[in-house]
Amino acid sequence: MPVAKRPEPGRRRRVARWRISVVHPMSTPAQTPDAGHLFDAAPGAHQAAQLPPAFPDRTPWGTGPRLRRWQEEALAAYFEREPRDFLVAATPGAGKTTFALRLAKELLARGTVDKVTVVAPTDHLKRQWAEAAERVAIHLNPLFKNADGWLGRHWHGAALSYAQIGMDPAVHKKMTESARTLVILDEVHHGGDALSWGDGMREAFAGATRRLSLSGTPFRSDTAPIPFVEYAPDQHGIRTSITDFSYGYRRALEDGVVRPVLFMVYSGAMHWRTSAGEEMSARLGEATTKDITAQAWRTALAPEGEWIPAVLRAADQRLTEVRRGVPDAGGLVIATNKTAARAYAQQLKALTGEKVTVVLSDEKESSDRISEFSAGTDRWLVAVRMVSEGVDVPRLSVGVYATNASTPLFFAQAIGRFVRARKRGESASVFLPNVPILLKLAEQLELERDHALDRDEREGDDPMGGLDDAALDEANRLEKASKDLTLDGSFQALASDAAFDRVLYDGGEFGFEAEVGSEEELDFLGLPGLLEPEEVRNLLLHRQAKQQRRGKKAAPPSAPTPAEQRLADIPMHKRLKEQRQQLQDLVGLWSHRTNTPHGAIHSELRRSCGGPAVAQATSEQLQARIELLRKRIGR
């Protein structure tokens, strides 16, 4: 859907380095130095100038203590207008916290504001913001309670949760209006999670001097407007949020700010008993109904089966390979509920012989566990959805998506835990079940969306039209509706196994189905942990070609099928014409199913199977593309 955005500053335009006032944040306007006391933001000169590009601790490669280019451009865009409201949408891992604190420091130094309030989705993020702000001498109280009424004079402000605001907006209205206040709304889309939250935000912060809204995923499926976000109709008349500055995953990847992500896809045979007592079987990834796909998916995630242990073993092998180049690399398993999380942790402990950190809720001890894991070198962290948004664990390099959550909002937040780059060449590997909706989300990782207030009737019943749901957000905060993997207690997972399916990377597919533990699987699990993005693609192509050669060598000669014999018996020009038509029919079917342009499908087939354009492709090359599409379609 087209989005309405204010013109973004030119990507290649050089931006002057910011000059920061040497003034304590609590200074009054009268104490602000004149222009002669301003100086370039150089390392070691002033806390604001020393802000690293990302928190905590380990800054990404190539950024030093200087701001990243997008952060400088966003600051330039802000100070060109100095608006009361400003919305920044930046991909997870880009450094929104650093940008916001740099802006806050500058507004405090200029005397534009006297206080800073940060609103975040969770208690862990409140503490994370307070710790980050402390490094630049902005003192935020993350333990403020509504009953306290007022902050002490020694605080510059408070770090609050959206729930706190919704419970007693009057308290925060008084605090906001008692001084010139900058309000930073982190992951602002949460402002629409509950009616009381949105109403509370409007009441509490209507009188704020400045409001900065941040989001890595600024979209919702409902039509509740997000407070303090501006909307305008697009070319189709759909009211869409206006982003003042946008920094997407594609540009961040080109800048080396985020890591490239390899999706390791696993299929397998599933066997289960339905609530009606009927035993059923299906294979992950095969074309079937939504209900059967969902039940096969639940069966795969059941700890007592063979699918999840096999995938955990593969993920741990991948982590071992990554740690050869990145010694402190860690892994994260995102589970659906507490029971599954504990079972996964036990399996990992038995596999590695090492302690596994388990995070089950957004409580202080869980926050402490996350911080301890982030600062340490342990291999694995298992969490129940809680490590899904805004939580900084920069050393996470390998992930297992072992949850049945399938909304684009949650998926983007989850993958955002793995993309935070620290040094050149790091990549991330995320293990996925072969579930169509997840594969489509993986392919659309680079897609940027804005929040639409109106329904687009053209979307119809497209399951991808929903960008999040209230039930998932509620589960993410309170873990309600996550007591069981199943829809009801009578569902029973009976058996499952796993098979390596393929690797998704940068819009392409690499490799073919192989047994777990086979040389073909190990070729892909053994990719070096430090590679440039282009090196990743080249090596994937090499491993795929190696797998093809091994398969051809190992496969005994077999008699041609009747269809193959018929093709062989007709003249080449007729054979090629028939194959091209067959390929075109399959491309049309896949295009209709995935809403992907024909040209994009043909380009991806060439990357996956090799060979020139259709007009110059040999019969063997055309047949390889036909077989790949048949496999996807499930025929």
- Contact by Cβ (8 Å): 186, 120: yes
Q: What is the rounded average pLDDT of the residues 230-258?
A: 78
487 vs 505, higher pLDDT: 505
Question: Where is 370: in which H helix or E strand?
Answer: helix 364-375
DSSP β-ladder status, 499-505 and 508-510: antiparallel
Which of 219-223, 259-263, 480-484, 555-559 is predicted with the least confidence, judged by mean pLDDT? 480-484
The verdict on 292 and 196 lying in the same domain is: no
Pair 125, 233 in one domain: yes
Helix (H) or strand (E) run with residue 103 in it:
helix 96-110
The DSSP annotation for 112-176 comes to: S-SEEEEEESSHHHHHHHHHHHHTTT--EETT--GGG-S--TT-SEEEEEHHHHHH-HHHHHHHH
Quick one: 74 and 151 in the same domain?
A: yes
Q: How far apart are CA 428 and CA 524, in angstroms?
A: 13
Q: At 209, phi and psi to the nearest 5? A: -70, -45
Distance of CA 129 to the CA centre of its chain: 20
Instruction: Tell me the residue type at 277.
Output: G
Q: DSSP assignment of 502-569, as one string? A: EEEETTEEE---EETTSHHHHHHHT--SB--HHHHHHHHHHHHHHHHHHHHHHSPP-PPPHHHHHHHT
Residues 6+ apart with CB under 8 A from 135: 47, 51, 55
The sign of the torsion formed by the CA atoms of 397, 402, 405, 407 equals positive
Is 90 exceeded by the pLDDT of residue 87? yes
Q: Are residues 78 and 143 in the same domain?
A: yes
Within this chain, do residues 546 and 581 fall inside the same structural domain, yes or no? no
Decide which of 247, 278, 302 is a domain's last residue: 247
Using the 3D structure, point to which of 247, 279, 309 is the last residue of a domain: 247
d(CA 336, CA 572): 54
Asked if pLDDT for residue 227 goes beyond 60, the answer is yes
Cα angle 120, 123, 128 (rounded to 5 degrees) comes to 75
Give the chain's end-to-end CA distance (angstroms, integer): 31
Q: Which residues pair with 19 in a beta bridge?
A: 40
Asked, for residue 55, whether it belongs to a domain, the answer is no
More confident residue, 570 or 130: 130
Instruction: Please give, one letter per residue, the 3-state secondary structure of 350-364.
Output: HHHCCCEEEECCCCH
The verdict on 239 and 279 lying in the same domain is no
> Which of 213, 247, 281 is the C-terminal boundary of a domain?
247
Contact 401, 234 (CB under 8 A): no
Helices (H), 269-306: 290-301
Does 623 share its domain with 541? Answer: no
Strand partners, 383: 334, 359
Provide the domain limits for residue 187. Answer: 69-247
| pLDDT band (50, 70, 90) for residue 564 | low
In a domain, 413, yes or no: yes
Query: Looking at the 3D structure of the chain, how many domains does it have?
Result: 3
Query: What is the model's pLDDT at position 433?
Result: 96
176 occurs within a structural domain: yes
Per the CB < 8 A criterion, the answer to whether 357 and 373 are in contact is yes
CATH number for position 210: 3.40.50.10810
Is 525 in the same domain as 394?
yes
Q: What is the DSSP string of 168-214?
A: -HHHHHHHHHTS-EEEEETTGGGGGSSHHHHHHHHHHHTT-SEEEEE
In a domain, 356, yes or no: no
At residue 168, does pLDDT exceed 90? yes
Name all contacts of 289-294 with Cβ < 8 Å and 24+ positions apart.
Answer: 290/463, 293/435, 293/436, 294/404
Torsion angle of the four alpha carbons 6, 11, 16, 20, in this order, in degrees rounded to the nearest 10:
60
- As a whole number, mean pLDDT of residues 435-444 equals 87
Answer yes or no: is 376 within a domain.
Answer: no
Q: Range with the lowest mean pLDDT among 37-41, 265-269, 628-632?
A: 37-41
* Of residues 104, 158, 161, the one with CA closest to residue 136: 104
Cα–Cα–Cα angle for 311, 313, 318, rounded to 5 degrees: 95
Q: What is the pTM of this model?
A: 0.60
Note whether residue 396 is domain-resident.
Answer: yes
**Residue 390 counted as domain residue:** yes
Residue that has been written with the tokens 């409201």 in this structure: 85
For helices 572-594 and 598-609, give the axis angle rounded to 10 degrees. 120
Residue 86 sits in the same domain as residue 122: yes
Q: Which residue has the higher pLDDT, 619 or 209?
A: 209
Say if residue 430 is in the same domain as residue 296: yes
Q: What is the pLDDT of residue 104?
A: 96
Q: Is the pLDDT of residue 60 over 90?
A: no
**Among candidates 224, 238, 193, 190, which has minimal Cα distance to 459?**
238
Residue 104 lies in a domain: yes
- Helices (H), ranges, 206-248: none
List own/partner pairs for 225-228 with CB under 8 A and 24 or more apart.
225/192, 225/198, 225/453, 226/188, 226/189, 226/191, 226/192, 226/198, 226/451, 227/188, 227/191, 227/192, 227/198, 227/201, 227/202, 228/85, 228/185, 228/188, 228/191, 228/201, 228/202
Cβ atoms within 10 Å, residue 590: 17
Are 585 and 545 within one domain?
no
The string of pLDDT tens digits covering residues 8-45 is 443 333 333 333 333 333 333 333 333 222 223 333 33
Question: Are 301 and 399 contained in the same domain?
Answer: yes
The residue whose two tokens read 């800073």 is 116
The mean pLDDT of 252-270, rounded to a whole number, is 86
State the Cα–Cα distance between residues 197 and 121, nearest whole angstrom: 11
